[in-house]
Amino acid sequence: MLKKLNYPLIILICDGNEPVKQAVLDVYPNAIIQTCLKHYIKNIRTDLNIASSDKYIDFYNFVYDAFFFKKCSKQHLAHEIARKYEDFKDDEKQYDWMTSIMQNLEFLTNYHRVPNAPCTTNLIEGYNGHLKDRTKSIRGFKSFYSAYYWLNAYILKRRFRVFTACSKKFCKLNGYASIHLTAKNIEDLPNLFRILPTKK
């Protein structure tokens, strides 16, 4: 569908699902793939049982720091792993994760190649979470078409609704609708959708 719409996909942030990556590259062979760092670090956390044991806490903190505080580039991340190799190499699980990081350096750091690209899927998952909560009160649709029209109306509402509760680094979005930030010229929109508040 994106290809048919001539959507200029540059980068895709996704979890470690290999079929998804391959499907994207089949359609957009020049697309940049970025592994969601939140998913990746969650897999490490689960595998090392960080919630119940502090056995691997030093290793986990080292990786977390490299991903989210230092925001290491490909070369920097490789350097960090090499620097700490002697400290962690004697444990099989730590060794396996260091090997995984080295094998996936490109996918873990590709977001540096695109200005302002995210390194996680947090934003889209927040959007999906809102949709999931919204549909809990709906006990099904009468038909495929009623679901189709409801979802279209939902997307339109989300696209044209002004942000009012953004905080921290996103507070600058308050007073804008997402269509303000993505459309080249909202004056080209049909009159039906031109009931937008004026941007601040």
Rounded Cα distance, 34 and 15, in Å: 8
Instruction: Give tens-digit pLDDT for 101-118.
Output: 999 999 999 999 999 889
Task: Report the 10 Å Cβ neighbour count for 50.
Answer: 19
To the question of pTM greater than 0.75 for the whole model, the response is no
Give burial (CB, 10 Å; 0-12/13-18/19+) of 147: middle
Q: Please, what is the average pLDDT of the chain?
A: 85
In sign, the C-alpha dihedral spanning 65, 67, 73, 78 is positive
What the block records as the tokens of 86 is 């002697």
Residue 97 pLDDT level (bands cut at 50, 70, 90) = very high
Kindly report, residue by residue over 124-158, the tens digit of the pLDDT. 777 777 888 888 888 788 888 888 888 888 888 88
Per-residue pLDDT at 197: 47
